[in-house]
Amino acid sequence: MTTSGLFDELFASAAMVDVFSDRARVQGVLDFEAALARAEAADGVIPQAAAEVIASCCRAEAFDFAALARGAAVAGNLAIPLLLALTAAVESADTTASRFVHFGATSQDALDTGLVLQLQRALGLVEKDLGHLSSLLAALSRKHQRTPMLGRTWLQPAPPVTFGMKAAGWLDAVERDRDRLEQLKPRLLVVQFGGAVGTLASLGTHGLSVATHVARQLHLTVPALPWHAARDRIAETGATLAVLVGTLGKLARDVALLMQAEVGEASEPRAAGRGGSSTMPHKQNPVGSAAILSAAARVPQLVATLLAAMPQEHERGLGGWHAEWEVVPEIFRLTSGALKHAIEIAEGLEVDAGRMQKNLAATHGVVLAEPVALALAHQVGRATAQELVERACRRADSAREPLREALRRDPEVSSRLSEAELDRLCDPEKYLGLSEIWVERVLKALARAHRQGES
Amino acid sequence: MTTSGLFDELFASAAMVDVFSDRARVQGVLDFEAALARAEAADGVIPQAAAEVIASCCRAEAFDFAALARGAAVAGNLAIPLLLALTAAVESADTTASRFVHFGATSQDALDTGLVLQLQRALGLVEKDLGHLSSLLAALSRKHQRTPMLGRTWLQPAPPVTFGMKAAGWLDAVERDRDRLEQLKPRLLVVQFGGAVGTLASLGTHGLSVATHVARQLHLTVPALPWHAARDRIAETGATLAVLVGTLGKLARDVALLMQAEVGEASEPRAAGRGGSSTMPHKQNPVGSAAILSAAARVPQLVATLLAAMPQEHERGLGGWHAEWEVVPEIFRLTSGALKHAIEIAEGLEVDAGRMQKNLAATHGVVLAEPVALALAHQVGRATAQELVERACRRADSAREPLREALRRDPEVSSRLSEAELDRLCDPEKYLGLSEIWVERVLKALARAHRQGES
Amino acid sequence: MTTSGLFDELFASAAMVDVFSDRARVQGVLDFEAALARAEAADGVIPQAAAEVIASCCRAEAFDFAALARGAAVAGNLAIPLLLALTAAVESADTTASRFVHFGATSQDALDTGLVLQLQRALGLVEKDLGHLSSLLAALSRKHQRTPMLGRTWLQPAPPVTFGMKAAGWLDAVERDRDRLEQLKPRLLVVQFGGAVGTLASLGTHGLSVATHVARQLHLTVPALPWHAARDRIAETGATLAVLVGTLGKLARDVALLMQAEVGEASEPRAAGRGGSSTMPHKQNPVGSAAILSAAARVPQLVATLLAAMPQEHERGLGGWHAEWEVVPEIFRLTSGALKHAIEIAEGLEVDAGRMQKNLAATHGVVLAEPVALALAHQVGRATAQELVERACRRADSAREPLREALRRDPEVSSRLSEAELDRLCDPEKYLGLSEIWVERVLKALARAHRQGES
Amino acid sequence: MTTSGLFDELFASAAMVDVFSDRARVQGVLDFEAALARAEAADGVIPQAAAEVIASCCRAEAFDFAALARGAAVAGNLAIPLLLALTAAVESADTTASRFVHFGATSQDALDTGLVLQLQRALGLVEKDLGHLSSLLAALSRKHQRTPMLGRTWLQPAPPVTFGMKAAGWLDAVERDRDRLEQLKPRLLVVQFGGAVGTLASLGTHGLSVATHVARQLHLTVPALPWHAARDRIAETGATLAVLVGTLGKLARDVALLMQAEVGEASEPRAAGRGGSSTMPHKQNPVGSAAILSAAARVPQLVATLLAAMPQEHERGLGGWHAEWEVVPEIFRLTSGALKHAIEIAEGLEVDAGRMQKNLAATHGVVLAEPVALALAHQVGRATAQELVERACRRADSAREPLREALRRDPEVSSRLSEAELDRLCDPEKYLGLSEIWVERVLKALARAHRQGES
């Protein structure tokens, strides 16, 4: 997984590709090394002058990436060749300073803290996108709070809902995803700093103080103890993203289904070339939904890799740790792409309220069997009520007439429910229940979260 | 996945098998139905007398499970045949009451809320076990706070750590798992109640009030809106358990490796028959570790199933929802078994501090190359220091003598480091760094968490 | 995973549940032990009389399963308590014979060979079902070889296909699955027999001869060498089933989508109660498709578990092997259920050719843009042709008139394509290409396979 | 996933990175287009001159990859912008020819056939590496056919095996992997060619003939019918690779464990810088094993993605197909890296037969309890025999003396087994059973396979 490729625009956001570029990975390690040198200088472990020279050499641009790649293959990790190259660079600037590069730390300290720095930026991007998506979905929910449409369960017609309620369901899940990210951050955003085996013995009595200085510089905290072989933070991060991508996948599934020509109730935004076909000029494919669903099919397994890699050996493992290196970036990459497409969809979704009405009508009202059955049940019991209604449904279906008519013509029904009652019972707009209230509740919770975020 | 089988003792705890037995699943649905009837009676939606009759019939024992299984295959879910059977049972007690069974709800309301009730109990078991495990690991950490042992990275010898620090690393991760569960619960422990499509239209103006009553009875809360097709809570629950199982897997991996005859530093508790072999009388197999590692290999993929099943269709999906039914119980089942074994191991772990000393000594001190190199680096620079130390290591290795001797005999070293300095640098007990402090930090955090839990 | 539960009828076939019942697992081990005793007697390793007594005790019914479960938890595998119990049973019949129970073998020999015996039966069931499904799909393909319907790509309308071709696509994949199973069997159906570490040292010079006798009795072969820690056969078996379940999932996805009320082109067979709803009398849910899709969501991850468990330690591993014990049966269980439902669907699928016609017509012919564009391209180049056709499509769409009309009224088109040409180009039945030939090819390949199977 | 990055040397082979580079992907599509044009010219569907111009433009180097990436994001696949660009390129060479670019085909025809062409090359690389690995493992097996070492089960000491037998176990599995690949190829190496929906209606009566010409040019065959939404071939390919990677993971697991300092029986080849540590000069890390184990942890989940993506919608799916695009290359990339490392290990593995002897001796012979117990069992029955031997094992263990001595001093044993018998029973080299014969069998099967490959 490197910095830019044929599918980076389709499956990722440019900003996230940048956060997880080869360059950014190298820079993450170097940022740790610079912070380490400065912290050690502040603590009197190494000379201040050495720290300055070291820090000045910590620019990714200065390194030969092809050589680093070759070195990583020999050493088994990236930090070793990178630190050799950094030491050489420092040495050519100041021989003495080169003695103090990476002083007392281990490769994994640099690699893991570097990764956490990337994750810090990456989570910032995700949160920003989620905030944006949230606002767009809130607007959709509000706008369509009273737009009735067919409910569908098991891909079969069901009583009516509103499109606003559907969008509020997406939004509500997005808000839970934001809460999860908020709760994750204090656990995740910590330095990795323990030296060869986690004891920081190399720093004598300075260990904890240097750790604290390093963390402060990098806007991280110091964990209870190093976590070289305790990878729950990484696995949890992946899992949290996967839940989010699953939420976006639910949105995409709904949109792709609503966009079927036979349904036609909503459509991804149209734009020149978007979703076109090489052979079918009339086609508009749900490109955004496809990309999101693809992410929702891939991220879960990537997370399984992180989870299954957790039982790492002793003080630092082999194989399991390596499995994380490309998988974590890939999870963020796919999440960023899914978010980008979800935002585009939420922003430009074309909702066809007229078609929603028409599709509701096309069921001949059989999806309103429930209220009729409930009304009848009060008089004849549920079993008989259901039988009466099922019979009417069958008649409506075969005669292709509204259920209301079939009911009206059935003396066992019409003797019990007046025309006015039947009219009311068979009006989908009268059978939307709490849909409006649910939307209100979701929007209120969102407003509350905003206020908390601000305070 | 049913209630009791050949591997339930090996891979699960009896209590968890009980929580997810067929009986308990049926009872979960029935508990919802009883609560629903009472809530509707309290709200005047159905007669109080009917509610009492319905509630009195809600005992799993009264149902024919083979018939339910057949019915589930025809209907596609368990609730439909169960509700038919419940209605029949109520009817034979009181014809009128039977009209009010499951009034206004949908199958998934009952199935999901029933599941949440099972999860409530299941999480209680997990938390109890985690508390127990925590205490045991705390005791181990404290006891071995100063027990030195070889650190090992990439399965190769490294500078010394203490066994207490290793155990504190396990404990620290367990504590994060407890935090995650704590944060999960408010999201998860909510009723599912929305009727056919989530609008609760069937209950007219009573919907929210009935929902509130149902939730109160079941010690759950009412979510912002129903979540029939928003499955993030379920997937998150699985993922949280998977992270925990990964933590236990890390412990098990370490124990299995330490228990190798060639290492012999720790051993699962011995007991008659435990880990025996059908052909090798001398054998003691790490049975607990094997069971835990097996769980750590299986749970991640089960979670991937839940995550990948999230994009469910419209108001209620097909296939994705079904995929959860057996997978969620299986995750808890395996987690409970892993916890049981981890507790047994933490309780009875036989730590051989003498063998730890011996294994440290067997490295001839080359794992203390680091402090020597660091000490020399101050005088000759890091590169030269490393060369000198590597040379001494090779000599020590080929002569099978302590590194200390090889260093002492090398004039380039002995001219720079005195005998006393060499003695100190080559003493593993002098090179344990922050190991004791880390343990303190973990134990303090634990104590803090306890106080918070109590207050 | 035990023998019978609430979802066994929905997610499995009864026959497969039986093959992987606890009883059958125990019997598999016992069948190995009986065959071993007889083979050893035939080879003069143990007395013939002892073999007879041992074999006579090898009936699963005679054992206390609860005790076995407890014993498995202590020993870490099922064979150890089972062999103790078997030895006790033999002893009470004939003290001498009890010395020769399990002579020279190891637990895993018995467990793995027992599993292979279960797999042999299980594959037989799968193959029988696949043969049945194949015939049903062949009949569907033949019957609807000329039934035109809308093709759909990315869930959007596309040029026409035939329903027969769609069914032939399902069938063609099923036939490949049968080929894979055929190729798998010689690799899989081998004994596991190596004693403690695979050398069969316990049997001195008799090892290979006994192995051969054991294999012959069980209708298996002797592999090049024992495979206690080489688990590729097991993982491959799971993967082969997973590909098959994916094929069935494709069929189920198509059926569930075709069964949407808005599409209505095909429907799972109707039957009393099948796919009903607790609240919506009019509902018919695609129960079979849901069960299949659920299997297709679960089996892939179960296979990932088997694959990831392959790197097992040394002569016999820990954790990885244990992970297989419940996962392999679960894969077969879900496969059997998916097959059962696929057969039911293929047998009773209600195909609505009229609705197919209607849905084709409802596109106003824009799905035939391709042939028109191709015809125009010969005269004006592809780019211009596409522009002309896209313009006509937009007009047809907004005017809700057939594309044919829109084209006819466009002078740039009508000057190039005659009315007759337009009629032909816009007739879906004239644009079915090789659909009939593809079906023929698939059916011919099937007939060829049958002849080979018979010869 | 693009062409070259920081981990490509560690986790992949250069040749495989090249096969799945962005350039190669584009070239795969273009190779299809060139073959298509020539096939259509041969069939008289398009002018011969046009075909030549088109084919001459089908060079990946000529395209702007950044523009393709942007175009893919809008169109939802790579082929659409690539075909637009190809058409433009052809047009600037010959306006007429541009009409015939991609004539009658659909994007997925080009993308899938392009992928198959990449897979053809990729499988060639895998097979070549497997052949090499096979020879190296055969040499190791032969060389160490009689090198005794401790067998280990559950990571605990067990009776002796030979290192040759261990290597033969690796080899035997590799040979099965080669068989699987051989059986896969005829299914996989087929063209995808069906036009918009698989009917090839766009080519009128020429469809099958053009398909045949295309396939012949590309050294592929024509399948029974197009397979746009039947993805079993792709999933099967991934699964076959995953089984192979699991086999390599088994080898790597063994090597990493044998290389532990406490075991020290085998070691990855040493080379300057290989497996070094940034802080520990003495370290040599098992870099190759780590990389292989990392692949073995990742590939299974990638395969689960392919399997779970199989249920694709109707004639061409959305999301599921997209999920394959980066996953298939990633599987091959990781497989190639694992193979590279396995070859390096097999080639340079340092086997320490002396240490193997020493470790065997260090068990004090308790791993030979089995033959002693077997010998005693003939006289006193198995239960008593086991008791006697267990007692002796405990004594040997606590007295740190050889089992042989403990047995000799036990009158109940020494009265039944003579000194000579005890000597023989306690000699590991006398207890290697069929180990030599197993190696022979594996090598003979290999020789047989070679002869078949040649003939």
| Complex confidence, ipTM | 0.96
Give residue A1's pLDDT.
37
pLDDT at position A78 over 60:
yes
Residues A127-179: tens digit of each pLDDT: 999 999 999 999 999 999 999 999 999 999 999 999 999 999 999 999 999 99
Residue D3: pLDDT over 70: no
Q: What average pLDDT does the segment D400-415 reach?
A: 92
Q: State residue C279's pLDDT score.
A: 62
Q: Does C73 touch chain B (CB under 8 A)?
A: yes
Interface residue of C150, C156, C360 to substitute, partner A, most A CBs within 10 Å: C156
Residue C227 backbone dihedrals phi, psi, to 5 degrees: -135, 35
What pLDDT does residue C184 have?
98
The fraction of chain A above a pLDDT of 70, given in percent, is 97
Give the pLDDT confidence score for residue C281 in this predicted structure. Answer: 65
- Mean pLDDT is lowest, of B343-347, D276-280, D431-435, for D276-280
**C263-272: per-residue pLDDT in tens?**
999 999 987 7
In this prediction, residue B278 carries a pLDDT of 60
The mean pLDDT of C25-49, rounded to a whole number, is 97
pLDDT at C436 over 80: yes
Which residues 183-242 in chain D show a CB within 8 A of chain A?
195-196, 202
High-pLDDT (> 90) share of chain A, %:
85
Cα nearest neighbour of D291 on chain B: B154
Residue D309: pLDDT band by 50, 70, 90 thresholds? very high
Whether residues A316 and B153 touch (CB distance < 8 A) is answered with yes
| pLDDT value at D1 more than 70 | no
- Which residue does chain B place closest to A204, by CA atoms? B433
Grade residue B2 by pLDDT with cuts at 50, 70 and 90. very low
pTM (predicted TM-score): 0.97
- What is the mean predicted confidence (pLDDT) over D30-36? 98
Does the beta carbon of B73 lie under 8 angstroms from any beta carbon of chain A? Answer: no
Residues across chain B: 455
Interface contact flag, A308 B314, Cβ < 8 Å: no
Number of H helices, E strands in chain D: 20, 4
Task: Decide if C363 and A261 are in contact by the 8 Å CB cutoff.
Answer: yes
Of A157, A281, A290, the CB nearest to C386: A281
Q: Which of B290, B301, B322 lies closest to C304 in CB terms?
A: B301
D271, D275, D309 member nearest A76 (Cβ): D275
Residue in C with minimal Cα distance to B11: C73
Angle at C438 between CA C435 and CA C440, to 5 degrees: 110
| Over residues A56-64, mean pLDDT | 97
Question: Between these two residues, D394 and D70, which has the higher pLDDT value?
Answer: D70
Chains in contact with A, counting 3 or more C-beta pairs less than 8 Å apart as contact: B, C, D
Res. D278 pLDDT band, cuts 50 70 90: low
- What's the pLDDT at B427? 92
Segment D71-89, tens digit of pLDDT? 999 999 999 999 999 999 9
pLDDT tier at B171 (50, 70, 90 boundaries)?
very high
What confidence tens digit (pLDDT) does each residue in C376-416 have?
A: 988 887 778 888 998 898 888 888 889 999 999 999 999 99
Rounded to the nearest integer, the mean pLDDT of chain D is 94
Residue of A159, A168, A231 lying closest to B197 (CB–CB): A159
Residue among B295, C302, B177, B248 at smallest CA distance from A236: B177
For residue A453, what pLDDT is reported? Answer: 75
Is A358's pLDDT higher than 70? yes
Span B290-346, pLDDT tens digits = 999 999 999 999 999 999 999 999 999 999 999 999 999 999 999 999 999 999 999
Contact A319, D286 (CB under 8 A): no
Write the DSSP symbol of residue A63: S
pLDDT for B279 equals 62
% of chain B surpassing 90 pLDDT: 85
User: Which residue bears the tokens 């439909």?
Assistant: B80
DSSP letters, C257-314, are HHTSTTT-SEEPPP-TTTT--SS-TT----HHHHHHHHHHHHHHHHHHHHHHT----T
A5/D1 CB distance under 8 A: yes
Contact C252 B292 (CB under 8 A): no
Kind plus residue range of the DSSP H or E element containing D98 = helix D95-98
pLDDT tens-digit readout, D328-344: 999 999 999 999 999 99
- Can you read off the two tokens belonging to residue D158? 């067990």
Q: Are D60 and D23 in contact (CB under 8 A)?
A: yes
Write down the pLDDT at residue B184: 98
Question: What's the pLDDT score for residue D279?
Answer: 62
- The residue-averaged pLDDT of A265-270 equals 94
Which among C335, C349, C300 is positioned nearest to C130, based on CA atoms?
C335
Q: What sign has the CA pseudo-torsion C405, C408, C413, C416?
A: positive
What is the reported pLDDT for D280?
Answer: 66
Query: pLDDT at residue D229 above 70?
Result: yes
Q: Is the Cβ–Cβ distance between D444 and D132 less than 8 Å? A: no
Chain C CB contacts of B25 under 8 Å are: 6
Residue D2 scores a pLDDT above 80 = no
pLDDT at C2 over 60: no
Helix, coil or strand: residue B153: strand
pLDDT of res. A452: 82
Exposed e or buried b per residue across C101-137, where buried means at least 16 C-beta atoms within 10 angstroms of its C-beta = bbbbbbbbbbbbbbbbbbbbbbbebbeebbeebbbbb
Terminal CA-CA length for chain D: 40
What pLDDT is attached to residue B83? 96
pLDDT at B382 over 90: no
Q: How confident is the model at residue C301 (pLDDT cuts 50, 70, 90)?
A: very high
Cβ contacts of B415 within 8 Å, gap of 6 or more: none
In this structure, are strands C350-351 and D148-153 parallel, antiparallel, or unpaired?
unpaired
Query: Measured between alpha carbons, how far is C81 from C62 in angstroms, rounded to an integer?
Result: 14
Query: Nearest CA to CA, how far is C46 from chain B (Å)?
Result: 17
According to the model, what pLDDT value does residue B271 have? Answer: 78
How many residue pairs from chains B and D have C-beta atoms closer than 8 A? 106
Examine the pLDDT at D455 and tell me if it is beyond 80.
Answer: no
Q: Would you please indicate which residues of B are annotated as catalytic (active-site) residues?
A: 277, 316
Q: Tell me if B153 and D263 make a contact (CB, 8 A cut-off).
A: no
Check if D278 contacts B (Cβ < 8 Å): no
In the predicted model, what is the mean pLDDT of chain B? 94
Residue D243 has pLDDT above 50, yes or no: yes
If you measure CA to CA, which chain D residue comes closest to C103?
D374
3-state secondary structure at position D152 = strand
Q: Would you say the C-alpha torsion C343, C345, C348, C352 has a positive or negative sign?
A: negative
So which residues of D are the catalytic ones? 277, 316
- pLDDT tens per residue, range A288-346: 999 999 999 999 999 999 999 999 999 999 999 999 999 999 999 999 999 999 999 99
Is A282 a residue whose pLDDT tops 90?
A: no
Instruction: Return the pLDDT at D281.
Output: 66
Q: Does B273 touch chain D (CB under 8 A)?
A: no
Among D305, D234, D116, D122, which residue's Cα sits nearest to residue A334?
D305
The full length of chain D comes to 455
How big is the C-D interface in CB pairs under 8 Å?
348
D369 touches B at CB < 8 Å: yes
Number of Cβ within 10 Å of residue B92's Cβ equals 10
Q: Does D358 touch chain B (CB under 8 A)?
A: no
DSSP B224: S
* A318 contact residues in D (CB cutoff 8 A): 256, 285-286, 289-290, 293
* CB-CB under 8 Å, D223 with C172: yes
Measured CA to CA, the distance from residue D156 to residue B302 in angstroms comes to 30
Q: Is the pLDDT of residue C1 over 50?
A: no
Q: Once rounded to an integer, what is the mean pLDDT over residues C436-453?
A: 92
Judged by CB atoms closer than 8 Å, whether chains meet at C277 and A155 is answered as no
Residue range B177-204: mean pLDDT, rounded: 97
**For residue C252, which residues of chain B lie inside 8 Å, CB to CB?**
319
3-state DSSP helix/strand/coil % of chain D, to nearest 5: 70, 5, 25
Q: What pLDDT is attached to residue B69?
A: 95
Q: Which of D154, D284, D289, D363 best probes binding to B when mutated, by most B CB atoms within 10 angstroms? A: D154
Among partner residues C158, C260, C285, which is closest to A280 by beta-carbon distance?
Answer: C158
| Yes or no, beta carbons of B286 and D363 under 8 Å apart | no
Q: Confirm or reject contact between B433 and chain A (CB < 8 A).
A: yes
CB-based contact B392:B425 (threshold 8 Å): no
The yes-or-no verdict on residue A2 having pLDDT over 50 is: no
Res. A55: pLDDT tops 80 = yes
pLDDT value at residue D4: 60
Instruction: Dig out the tokens for C359 from the structure.
Output: 């849905």
Point out the least confidently predicted range of B29-43, B218-232, B388-402. Answer: B388-402
- Counting as contact any 3 or more CB pairs under 8 A, the partners of C are A, B, D
B304–C301: do the CB atoms touch at under 8 Å? yes
Q: Give catalytic residue positions of C.
A: 277, 316
At B209 the pLDDT is 97
H or E stretch covering C162: strand C156-162
pLDDT value of position C280: 66
